Amino acid sequence: MRTRMIYLALAVALMPIAAEGQQWRTIESARQLANTEQTRVSLTFAGGKFELRPLTGALLYQMHLHYDEQSSDAVHEFDAAQHQLTLGMTKANVGWRALHSMNRDDSGNMTVGLNPTVPMKLELNLGGATADLELGGMRVKSLKLNMGLAGGNVRFSTPNAIVMDELSVDVGLGGVKFENLGNANVSQIDINGGMDGVALNFGDTVMHDVKINAHVAFGGLKIQVPRSVGVKVQAETKLANFKLQGFTRTNDAWLTPNWNESARHVTVVVNAAFGSLEVNHSEP
Amino acid sequence: MRAALGALLITAFGLGRPLGAQAAGAPGRPPNPPTAERIQIVKYGDQIGWNDSSLSRDLKLLTDSINLIAGEMTSARMKGIPPGRIGYLQGRLGALEGRLGGLQGQLGQLQGESARHGEELDGNRSRTHRMLSPRDLDKLFTRVRQDPQGIELPPADSIVRGAFAVTQGAVIGRVAATGQLDVFGRVNGNAVSLNGDVVVHKGGHITGDALSVGGTVRLDGGTIDGELRSTDRAVAPTAAAAASSSGFLSILDELQIAMGWLVAMVLLGFGAMVFAEDRLRIVAATIEARFGRSLFAGLLAEVSFIPVLVLSIVLLVITIIGIILLPVVVPGIFVVGALLAVLGFLAVSRVAGQALTRRAATVSVRGAELRSMLAGLFFFFGLWLVAAILSWVPVLGPLLHALAFVVTWAAVTVGLGAAVITRGGGRPAPSPVAAPDAASELGWQTPTPISGIAAARRQATNTPEA
């Protein structure tokens, strides 16, 4: 009787492990462009590699998704009336099982192309996926980027065709690096977290006056701004390394000498703890 | 100029047809009209062209550059900017056109290779199709119907066996074929190809979705109102997937977690019996003797944990030596807290186990203590196991989870409190409350209470007066 009980307990303990097989499948999904109305786009992916690019051609979107269907469900929905596009995986499935499965051998991947002629409000929830985003040339009205365990790169190789109202980045354990952020045409940037650091490289040009609100801990924040742009830094740091080159202190802020003369301004309001804050005001 | 270059680029992309694209021009079907607006969904398994092909990436960059310059030129002309600037832009445009010509040459080469591979693949597909028996086809239909990524199919007898073409001018309802599906006319509904491609040619129109299982969906100048979807294969929900959707896997997950914790606590219990037996005894004795006080101390410890942590950090960071100690002290607080909680929970398990088991005459004191502790642990984690097994029951499941949580939390709180009171079992256990001594009890009573002060001091009895 006792032996039976032990076997039963072992079976119960091991059953989930046995049931944890993977079943990979690939889905391609796309939709023809019907109009260029502003569209809300929600992209969710648990683990593996995620890529986003502007599309060439008359498609609203194109998605390539390779995923473990034992741990997650694929989503590819478009609500034409609400102009709402939802792609990737259901949020309910983005749990430890999906993360574990999709990150194994780097097998999970999701590649999305979006039409650059459609103004879009983008929301990305990337769990533990490593992200590579090219948003240059698109029409991004707002960008909400939630990154969990992994980090990623975000590029604006060419200018954003419309003014972006808000860029919000929430980073967990990973880090994120923005390239040519000056092309984002954004007026407000909000940054939270980033254990592995957040790097904002504005490139050669800044298309719009920008205010950056950052709350960073442990990782740090590194900002590279072109020399022609005036920069103002208001920082509150706790045990954080503070590096500002070529700035002068005025009241409660640090200003670059060209603050009053320059046509474009970047204002950085940062609250940093246990990390570092570095603002380079020079040619990249 | 800009539109012309755009059209040129689109044509260039259109020429790079995916593998298997040549089947559209099979004999007996309407001719495949050349078009400048051919858009394609690549075959499954292939990466999207612009993803890993440097050629496509170059073309994309070129398009962007051309668009940018063309935009600048338009704006320059409208604003009356000096002709020098316009001349410069025209020069750059010319240079880009030259580069475009070079890339087109490369594309042509790739096109030739693609055509060769495509013919081979088509041959393979035809062979695969011929191998499918009616029974296999029925299985395929069932899988597609059950597949969450599938689509609603027409009845099996309405599904065309083999390739099918909707001719120009024809209007039909939803259509499915087990080979390539070419659409030149209009399909009012979904169009599905099992084991083949769906190709929508110029003038062709699908009002619903287009699905290809094992192939691709391609736009060859036509229109699809719904979704263009292709999957590598049809997958009927497997037992595991069905279990997942029914919640069975979540039950197993929960069982696994509960079993994992049980095993971990049993191992820690053995460790405590070996290395901290006296401490365990003292904490257990404190729980028995001062249950209420232990509960209060446990609650206080839980509530004050975060403030104490914050206060410790603040006190540390104001001094240089404190900053150095910070990386040691903060994790240390967590470790000490966890150790006290584990010790307390093991002690509570022992006390609870004592109430649940009887000590056999042949079992030593230590053996009895171990048995009690194991019984207690099985009791507490048994609650979680039962809650996991019955989690699918609508009301009972959540109730059992709540019960398991409350009981476990209470046990941890009491145990933690007792561990805190005894400083981790380092203090001697409080002596049990002394039983009233019969002699002393009688000592202060007057032997013959009659009246007056002595009578007033006499202890009241519970016996109601007659």
**And the tokens for A23?**
């079943």
Q: Chain A contact for B257, CB < 8 A? A: no
The residue among A40 and B234 whose pLDDT is bigger is: A40
As a whole number of angstroms, the distance between CA A72 and CA A94 comes to: 7
Whether B344 and B412 have beta carbons less than 8 Å apart is answered as yes
Hey, are the CB atoms on B45 and A13 less than 8 Å from each other? no
Say what the pLDDT of residue B253 is. Answer: 73
Q: Pick A19's closest partner by Cβ from B227, B243, B260.
A: B243
Give the pLDDT band (50/70/90) at residue B75: confident
**Which of B64, B262, B384 best probes binding to A when mutated, by most A CB atoms within 10 angstroms?**
B64
Segment B182-201 shows an average pLDDT of 92
pLDDT of residue B15: 34
Count residue pairs from A and B with Cβ separation < 8 A: 118
CA-to-CA distance for B412 and B416, rounded, in angstroms? Answer: 6
Which of A125-129, B93-97, B391-395 is predicted most confidently?
A: A125-129
d(CA B20, CA B234): 20
Q: Is B232 on the interface with A (CB under 8 A)?
A: yes
Q: Mean of the pLDDT values across residues B15-29?
A: 34
The pLDDT of residue B131 is: 56
Arithmetic mean of pLDDT, B450-456: 47
Q: Do A69 and B259 touch (CB under 8 A)?
A: no
- Average pLDDT of chain A is 83
Q: Is B445 on the interface with A (CB under 8 A)?
A: no
Distances (CA, A) of A124 to A45, A148, A232, B324: 8, 11, 30, 39
Q: How many CB atoms lie within 10 A of CB B292?
A: 9
Q: Compute CA B344 distance to the chain's CA centroid, rounded to the nearest angstrom.
A: 34
* 8 Å CB contact of A19 and B249: yes
Q: Chain B contacts of A30, Cβ < 8 Å?
A: 41, 217, 227-229
Q: Is pLDDT of A219 > 80?
A: no
Residues of B whose CB is below 8 A from A58: 37, 39
Extract the tokens encoding B11: 């044509």
Judged by a CB distance cut-off of 8 A, whether residue B199 touches chain A is no
In angstroms, what separates the C-alpha of A97 from chain B's closest C-alpha?
10
**Which residues, numbered 311 to 350 in chain B, qualify as contacts with chain A under a Cβ-Cβ cut-off of 8 Å?**
317, 323
pTM above 0.95, yes or no: no
SS3 A195: coil
Q: Which helix (H) or strand (E) holds A222?
A: strand A221-225
Q: Above 70 in pLDDT, residue B55?
A: no
Among residues of chain B, what percentage have pLDDT more than 90?
Answer: 23
**Residue ranges of B 38-57 with Cβ closer than 8 A to chain A:** 39, 41-42, 44-45, 47-48, 50-51
Quick check: B457 pLDDT over 60? no
Tens of pLDDT, residues B283-315: 999 998 888 999 999 999 999 988 888 888 888
Range with lowest mean pLDDT among A98-112, A165-179, A212-226, B395-409: A98-112
User: A-contacting residues of B 139-198, CB under 8 Å?
Assistant: 148-149
Which of B64, B224, B256 lies nearest to residue A137, judging by beta carbons?
B64
What's the CA gap between B338 and B9, in Å, rounded?
Answer: 65
pLDDT of residue B295: 92
Overall average pLDDT of the A61-65 stretch: 94
